[in-house]
Chain A
């Protein structure tokens, strides 16, 4: 079975700045593997251990994303692919999905694509559904357990807000996973050393047959601002806990929130 995991590099925290040209400035913030993608990598590795085949880490980004690809390789992924091109610099979610779809078609023999349920920076959760539609494949989102994975078929539990749906579907499929589906492993020291010098194949827009027109955003960013500051708060003083509590409850009742 050939499993592709789509992996995104994101800032560790979101205390980002907004540049004058509305791009995001994450200078000085450590870059990590999107947390939900770690679960996708782990899930791919566990099934690969059972079924054999290969696990390809696919990422769309600049050269320095190779660091997180190497982390996934050190966790145990067998193959990797970086899609990198100046034309990919400011892709929107669907643009990224078009690039990934073109690359997956070119890879050719893929059975399953695993993704995190969303990235923690853009938070659209729209990449995987768009990818599934572009490939014309089955889509299963918010999966908390893959029950069965075999040639041509998957059974998975979708963990929704109030119910768990068990769904049987045909492969190839695009699946997104939630936190808690597994416990992501740490990269092993041995493998970290082993993959340090591995050549990571890199494809450009031309390599996957995409033109600038294919990458035009469907949505245009027209403004980007920080959230409005919260009104200044108040520390409730009092001679003891009982007095503080009474004053707090006064405030909450006055504000009609309780």
Chain B
């Protein structure tokens, strides 16, 4: 087993390195330094440009690069087949990926291919005496599990965004780029087209989320109150399942056990009762503000700040006050 920690590099729609990959390079560097290991960046794609240099600047020692037209679009076969072939060749001790949909697809299949396990959507990863362990929650955040990988098998861990700070880039750092060829893998799926999603929101990226629930009374009230407040605080807007199922807001915006799990810096829950399935998606937010007219609403049990009152009265005042004070 080589003494390497690999980070699978993801790109943004513009082709830059994704924030989560920088966070993971930072974490990999820290783990490598503490354990006498090296950091490898796995860069798969087509027209990869200077991503290897970017990876070095964030802490990679080596970049394993496969630049091939067949990898222009993500397919499980192409990406997992290639990564598995390289992992079998170089035997990294640990492979880190982000935990967005594409990487959840990738990491689980890769782990199966390598006959190891995957700690999915983890929030921490540790190495002690050569043993890799990871922390992940289950049961809607009500259970925190620590899992340990069997020694001698490559550990595969997908990590939730914003679990680690993004390191400072050092443009003077350099490393070794290793170019590899696409292995002969079956390609059973072909991406025919990619279309931007209507009204897409990436709630998991947002630092501030303002969510509304059934307490707002109507979809008209939701749109009158929630997006303007979200805009005033520079955030995205979310929703409880009750109003998604009622058709007020598209599913993309649903926060909770069967929606998105988010942990922003600030989460505002407005007219949301705080059912356990909703809490599952947002209870790890750093600061929680709840506005609800029922002083006994369960949401107040997790709120950092609670305001008891009618959302229709409070929210317009709040939006104005924030605009006034922040000059937005």
A residues near B, CB below 8 A?
A: 11, 13-16, 18, 24, 35-36, 92-94, 97, 120-130, 132-134, 138-142, 155, 158-170, 179-180, 217-227, 230-231, 233-236, 241-242, 244-246, 248-249, 251-253, 255, 257-258
Instruction: Give A253's nearest chain B residue, CB to CB.
Output: B325
Pairs across A and B, CB under 8 Å, 25 listed: A14-B140, A24-B139, A24-B143, A94-B118, A121-B138, A122-B139, A123-B137, A124-B108, A139-B76, A161-B101, A162-B13, A162-B196, A164-B197, A165-B191, A219-B118, A219-B148, A224-B146, A226-B144, A230-B288, A230-B302, A235-B306, A245-B318, A248-B289, A249-B321, A252-B322
Interface status of B192 (Cβ within 8 A of chain A): yes
Interface status of B172 (Cβ within 8 A of chain A): no
Q: Within the complex, what minimum Cβ distance (angstroms) separates A218 from chain B? A: 3
Give the CA-CA distance A221 to B144 in the complex, in Å. Answer: 11
Give the CA-CA distance A125 to B305 in the complex, in Å. Answer: 34
A222 and B148 within 8 A (CB): yes
Interface status of B33 (Cβ within 8 A of chain A): no
Give the CA-CA distance A122 to B120 in the complex, in Å. Answer: 10
A123 and B138 within 8 A (CB): yes
A36 and B258 within 8 A (CB): yes
Q: Determine chain A's interface SS by DSSP, over half rule.
A: mixed
Interface core residue of A166, A217, A233 (most chain B CB under 10 Å) = A233
Which residue of B142, B208, B257, B283 is within 8 Å of A258 (Cβ)? B208
B190 and A236 within 8 A (CB): no
Which residue of B73, B80, B146 is within 8 Å of A222 (Cβ)? B146
A241 and B194 within 8 A (CB): no
B144 and A120 within 8 A (CB): no
Interface core residue of A132, A133, A134, A235 (most chain B CB under 10 Å) = A133
A14 and B304 within 8 A (CB): no
Known: A97-B112, A218-B150. A246 touches B321 (CB 8 A): yes
Interface status of B162 (Cβ within 8 A of chain A): no
A241 and B139 within 8 A (CB): no
A234: which B residues are within 8 A, CB to CB?
304-306
B190 and A167 within 8 A (CB): yes
Which residue of A120, A126, A180, A257 is within 8 Å of B265 (Cβ)? A257
Instruction: Give B324's nearest chain A residue, CB to CB.
Output: A249
Known: A138-B77, A141-B101. A130 touches B289 (CB 8 A): no
A227 and B300 within 8 A (CB): no
B101 and A221 within 8 A (CB): no
Q: Within the complex, what minimum Cβ distance (angstroms) separates A125 from chain B? A: 5
B75: which A residues are within 8 A, CB to CB?
167
Q: Within the complex, what minimum Cβ distance (angstroms) separates B109 from chain A? A: 4
Known: A97-B112, A124-B120, A223-B145. A245 touches B325 (CB 8 A): no
A162: which B residues are within 8 A, CB to CB?
13, 196-197, 200, 202
A36: which B residues are within 8 A, CB to CB?
258
Which residue of B119, B142, B190, B202 is within 8 Å of A168 (Cβ)? B190
B120 and A258 within 8 A (CB): no
A-B contact sample (9 more), CB < 8 A, given A164-B196, A220-B148: A13-B277, A120-B140, A130-B108, A162-B13, A180-B251, A218-B116, A219-B118, A222-B133, A227-B284
Known: A14-B276, A235-B308, A245-B318. A219 touches B313 (CB 8 A): no
A130 and B138 within 8 A (CB): no
B289: which A residues are within 8 A, CB to CB?
248, 252
Give the CA-CA distance A241 to B318 in the complex, in Å. Answer: 9
B221: which A residues are within 8 A, CB to CB?
none
A-facing residues in B288-316 (Cβ within 8 Å): 288-289, 295, 300-310, 313-314
Q: Within the complex, what minimum Cβ distance (angstroms) separates A2 from chain B? A: 19
Interface status of B121 (Cβ within 8 A of chain A): yes
B310: which A residues are within 8 A, CB to CB?
241
Interface status of B188 (Cβ within 8 A of chain A): yes
A-contact 0/1 string along B113-132, CB 8 Å cutoff: 10111111100000000000
B305: which A residues are within 8 A, CB to CB?
233-236, 248, 251-252
Which residue of A161, A165, A170 is within 8 Å of B200 (Cβ)? A161
A-facing residues in B118-177 (Cβ within 8 Å): 118-121, 133, 137-150, 153
Known: A92-B117, A168-B192, A220-B150. A126 touches B108 (CB 8 A): yes
Give the CA-CA distance A155 to B190 in the complex, in Å. Answer: 9
Interface core residue of A127, A161, A170, A235 (most chain B CB under 10 Å) = A161
A166 and B191 within 8 A (CB): yes
B153: which A residues are within 8 A, CB to CB?
218
A127: which B residues are within 8 A, CB to CB?
108
Interface status of B179 (Cβ within 8 A of chain A): no
Instruction: Give A164's nearest chain B residue, CB to CB.
Output: B195
Give the CA-CA distance A230 to B304 in the complex, in Å. Answer: 8
A-contact 0/1 string along B57-75, CB 8 Å cutoff: 0000000000000000101
Interface status of B85 (Cβ within 8 A of chain A): no
Give the CA-CA distance A131 to B300 in the complex, in Å. Answer: 42
Which residue of A35, A218, A225 is within 8 Å of B115 (Cβ)? A218
B194 and A165 within 8 A (CB): yes
A-facing residues in B225-282 (Cβ within 8 Å): 233, 251, 257-259, 265-266, 276-277, 280
